[in-house]
Amino acid sequence: MDDAEYAALMRSRDRRRQRSPRVLVAVARLNGWRPTQSPPPPTIEVADLVNCY
Amino acid sequence: MAIKKDRSELPTSKPKAGGGWQPDEETIFGPLLINAFKEMEGERPDKERHYVSPSNALSCARQLSYRAAGTPGKPMEPSGWWVTSLGKFVHRVLEDALLDEFGPEGCTPEAMIGTKVPLLDDEHAPQCEQCQRQMVADIAEWYCEFHPDESAPMKYRVEPEILTLTVMVDGEPTQVDVPIIGYGDIWIHTDEISKVTDYKTVGGYGYKMAIGERGEAEGPKRDALFQAAIGARFFGARDVSVVNLARDALSVAIAQRKGFDEWRRFISEWTVPLDSIVEEVEAELVRMWRVNRLWHEEGLLAARRVPGVPVEISNPKTGGWAQKEEVDGKERLVASGEFWGCSYCAWQDSCIAAGPGRVPLPNGTTQDDPGAGT
């Protein structure tokens, strides 16, 4: 990491520290998020998909 | 005296032809705005492709053929520029915000599948042995103290990445090397989060259908999920997600009636584990590659087949299809419908002219002719 990249990283971290509490709460929720749902079943059998052309 | 209820917010029941306050015949601002968007975004020429792109996942096989052949489609209409430019604006703002939040070590916006190879033509080659290459954002420039003003942005070509997949083809496990070029909108790779996400700006009606404002929540479009999933499969991310951003926010009244919070009035996210769809995603990559090979190796356009539509589209003017089966010795219609995509397809006219099934391009052009498909 060169000086310019390091400075950019520090600026980015500073900006993060200045975020409002509300944004930080949203990010905390994002960090703790785990997918809980599965997508709907496919509309075509996987075995048929490769031949759908 | 009778009390009058003000219902001026509701549409009038029977508008008179030419009545009301009609808009001006022509627009001054429309062409100026769209031309400005065109200059900002630039137009991409059609070119032959010997690879597949995640952004074309689950699209019509015939359309994939035209993309493989580099056949120029109808230019995008102003309304298309309007909608796609809004989407790109949101992409850029989100990219910056995510980089600020997670830092370059925690996320990769526009995560590329493919390798950039510098093109060293005369204009972009170093001017002398002292010249150094410096990356400025995503553009490489050559310069040195002797040639400070002679730097020029490098040009690149992009080499596809090869993904080796083993999928079931006609009941047999088959190994297929699929070349891919594309981007994941955002790849988040922190200790906590490992996912590739696709952002989609969507119309008001589509958004309502997706989140369950009307009936059961349909979720995001499966092609958007696949686009992100191909990125996740390539980068080794655990999860896949789609963000839908409505171009028009739901009204306060609807949100209150449905119990939606303020965010859901315009933004919703769906996340699933890649494992839950990976088989289907790999099969789709192989399908896209087989369509590509059908053109480049056999000179044939694919049939008008769309995953999820049980038979070939018989009327590409409307997207109409009709599934018939023999019942008691007689052919009977068992299902029919209209695929929405045909009306928006840039190759609709070519597709109508080419006819159904796997066919060569009309006029005897083949994949070997210079300018085939033009």
Report yes or no: B258 and A24 within 8 Å, Cβ to Cβ: no
User: Distance from first CA to last CA of chain A, Å, rounded?
Assistant: 48
Nearest to B57 by CA among B341, B301, B281: B281
> Tell me, what's the ipTM?
0.80
| Residue contact A52–B192, C-beta within 8 A | no
Spatial distance between the Cα atoms of B325 and B330, rounded to a whole number of angstroms: 8
A vs B: CB pairs below 8 A? 84
Q: B159 vs B76, B114, B184, B192, B268, CA distance in Å?
A: 27, 6, 16, 32, 34
CA B367, B43, B160, B139 dihedral sign is positive
| Residue contact A50–B270, C-beta within 8 A | no
Nearest-by-Cβ selection for A53 from B168, B190, B294? B294
| Residue contact B276–A38, C-beta within 8 A | yes
Burial (CB count within 10 angstroms: exposed 0-12, middle 13-18, buried 19+), residue B284: buried
| Residue contact B302–A44, C-beta within 8 A | no
pLDDT in tens, chain B (374 residues): 678 887 777 766 676 777 788 899 999 999 999 999 998 887 777 889 999 999 999 999 999 999 999 999 999 999 999 999 999 999 999 999 999 999 999 999 999 999 988 776 656 667 788 887 776 655 667 778 777 766 666 677 889 999 999 998 888 899 999 999 999 999 999 998 999 999 999 999 999 999 988 888 889 999 999 999 999 999 999 999 999 999 999 999 999 999 999 999 999 999 999 999 999 999 999 999 999 999 999 999 999 999 999 999 999 999 999 999 988 888 899 999 999 999 999 999 999 999 999 999 876 555 444 444 43
Q: B134 vs A6, B139, B144, CA distance in Å?
A: 16, 8, 10
Q: B335 vs A47, B62, B311, B318, CA distance in Å?
A: 22, 22, 10, 16
B262 Cβ contact list (under 8 Å, min separation 6): B255
pLDDT tens digits along B304-349: 999 999 999 999 999 999 999 988 888 899 999 999 999 999 999 9
| Encoded tokens for B307 | 């995953």
The helix or strand, by DSSP H or E, that contains position B29, with its residue range, turns out to be helix B29-41
In single-letter form, the type of residue at position B147 comes to H
| Residue contact B277–A37, C-beta within 8 A | no
- Identify the DSSP state of B50: S
Q: To the nearest whole angstrom, how far is the Cα of A26 from the nearest Cα of chain B?
A: 11
Spatial distance between the Cα atoms of B50 and B291, rounded to a whole number of angstroms: 11
- Identify the DSSP state of B356: S
Spatial distance between the Cα atoms of B75 and B349, rounded to a whole number of angstroms: 12
Residue with tokens 């052949």: B69
Q: What residues are paired with B178 via a beta bridge?
A: B163
Spatial distance between the Cα atoms of B306 and B57, rounded to a whole number of angstroms: 10
Helix-strand-coil split of chain B, %, nearest 5: 35, 25, 40
For A34, the closest chain B residue by CA position comes to B271
* Stated length of chain A: 53
Q: What residues are paired with B156 via a beta bridge?
A: B118
| Residue contact A51–B101, C-beta within 8 A | no
Nearest to B124 by CA among B138, B143, B144: B143
Q: Which residues of A touch B (CB under 8 A)?
A: 8-9, 12-13, 15-16, 19, 27, 30-33, 35, 37-40, 42-44, 46-47, 49-53
Q: Which residues of B touch A (CB under 8 A)?
A: 61, 64, 99-101, 103-105, 167-171, 190, 192-193, 219, 222, 225, 239, 241, 270-273, 276-277, 279-280, 283-284, 286-287, 290-291, 294, 302-303, 305-308, 358
Report yes or no: B250 and B208 within 8 Å, Cβ to Cβ: yes
| Residue contact B290–A49, C-beta within 8 A | no
Spatial distance between the Cα atoms of B139 and B159, rounded to a whole number of angstroms: 17
Q: To the nearest whole angstrom, how far is the Cα of A31 from the nearest Cα of chain B?
A: 6
Report yes or no: B231 and B113 within 8 Å, Cβ to Cβ: yes
Report yes or no: A1 and A9 within 8 Å, Cβ to Cβ: yes
Nearest-by-Cβ selection for B61 from A35, A47, A52? A52
Contacts of B319-323 spanning 24+ positions with Cβ under 8 A: B319/B343
Nearest-by-Cβ selection for B272 from A30, A35, A42? A35
The helix or strand, by DSSP H or E, that contains position B174, with its residue range, turns out to be strand B172-180
| Residue contact A52–B305, C-beta within 8 A | yes
Global pTM reads 0.81
